[in-house]
Amino acid sequence: MPKGNGDVASAVPDVPTARQVGAEAERGIAMICEIADAVWRGVNPSVSNPSVQPLIGQFETIRYGAAMDLGTEDASGSRELYRSHCLVVREVASGDRDHWVITFDNYGIGHGFDRPGFGEAWLKAQGISAIHVMGKAEDWYQYSDIEAALASVRTAVGTASRVITYGSSMGGYGAVRFADAIGAHAALALSPQYTLDPDIVSHDRRWAQDAHRIGWIKRMNGRLNSAARIIVVYDPRGPDDWHGRRIAEESSGDVIRLPFTGHPVTSFLSEIDMLGSLVVDVLHDRLDSRNFEREARGRRATSGVYLGEIAGLQPMHRQATALALARRALDVSPANHHARLNLAKLLLRGDAVDEALLIFEGLVVDSEQALHYLVNYGQALAVAGRLTDARVIADQVIERASGIAHLNAWAAQLCWLNGDTAQARKLIRNAVRLDPVSQGYLELAVDYHLGHPTIDITAPVRSTIWLEFARWIARHRIFQQLPGIWVRWLRANALPAV
């Protein structure tokens, strides 16, 4: 999971202290909103955003039969247009069959095909005909038969008067990249990636393990030459900005920038009740992008996502303001798990450990032990000095997600802090094996193999002469110029196969 935003606090100028965020709460919040916009226009720090928010359709529980015949409509009104080992194209037609929305999966929507497509329940409830292009996993649709799947969509909507593509994050990539292939008139992409092909973009490491695992199809990831009107909506404050700007430069369309709304922006739009109208307006070709952007910014003070993002950016000397904003975020959006998470992190930062841990524990229960909240709970336990309890959480996480590199590295640290050096070394070897290009995992592997453990979470490795020697080599210019030799040596010597 992406790292937090603590490193950008220093980039945000002092916000006027809201000492009386009680009687004058509304005025204080509005003032901070205006200052936040000014900060973005002047500073615009490039930061990874950690928020992972629920998307429309993500947690629906509709079940589908695996043996549905192609072209045969089932009792729910669905029919499959295409099926392979990697892809399924499902049509869900409604009353209006002259306007179609073609959706693409977001990251984390679920593996396999026994699930709904992105936004399926909402689109059906609105009477909007949709086709859902579903991949077997988080592969950014880099499948050899993707053209055949898209051709089935183009055939199905060939007589329609209006067709749009729609997706969020990974799905936004699909909406932009495949609009022409299906003959779409417009593409609505929320927080999309231009590409994650490491040969083109190496600075965005949010999905580094996947990016290096995937075999990128070069003809699908070059310069955009889309005839469709592309509408891109994103938070320009972090790594999404590069992708949004690149898409805008290479396409004719609209860019809607909503600073401090997180990744994906989908959650913010849903919370301020503007996501549905956006989809409908694009579908009927009546979107006024500038008016939409103004309206969305006008509603931001009612968003727990927005207020939580601003709260998380406050420096330590603005802890009272940060907590006031975080509590306000929870007031305006009490069902928002991420607002609770932001508050818990800020409480932990301010040494209100017991209150913070209660919130973390409640999030784990309420989310049915979602990994994102489980990891945050484990980290909070470690920060609170409860290393044994944190290790228990780490074991649960790895039991469920042993194939994710950064979780192996996180669990390795907790094992190391608990004195279990053998398990720590095994887990960090797993992390290197899963993401061999990560310099950070390689450095941790050296630390864990040549150093000695401590119980200090801020300095968990006690140096040795061999560790200092290895670190000196790592800093040498020759080493920096020959990373391939280092990786091969490390694999052959310090990192035996697991």
Mean pLDDT by runs of 10 across the 498 residues of the chain is 35 38 47 52 38 30 35 67 96 93 90 88 96 96 97 96 98 98 97 96 91 94 94 95 95 92 95 97 97 96 94 94 96 91 95 96 95 96 95 97 94 93 94 86 84 69 73 62 52 47
Q: In the numeric block, which tokens belong to residue 276?
A: 């549905």
What phi, psi does 293 have (nearest 5°)? -65, -45
The predicted model scores a pTM of 0.79
Length of the chain: 498
Quick one: pLDDT at residue 62?
Answer: 29
Vertex 56 angle, CA 227 and 178, to 5°: 20
Distances (CA, A) of 463 to 440, 469, 470, 495: 17, 10, 11, 19
Quick one: pLDDT at residue 492?
Answer: 53
Q: In the numeric block, which tokens belong to residue 136?
A: 């077997």
| β pairing state of 186-190 and 229-234 | parallel
Closest C-alpha to 170, from 222, 214, 130: 214
Quick one: pLDDT at residue 76?
Answer: 61
Neighbours of 260 (CB within 10 A): 25
The contacts of residue 111 (CB under 8 Å, 6+ apart) are 136, 137
- Please, are residues 471 and 446 in contact by the beta-carbon 8 Å criterion? yes
Q: How far, in Å, CA of 359 to CA of 363, rounded?
A: 6
Q: In the numeric block, which tokens belong to residue 429?
A: 């070897």
Quick one: pLDDT at residue 489?
Answer: 55
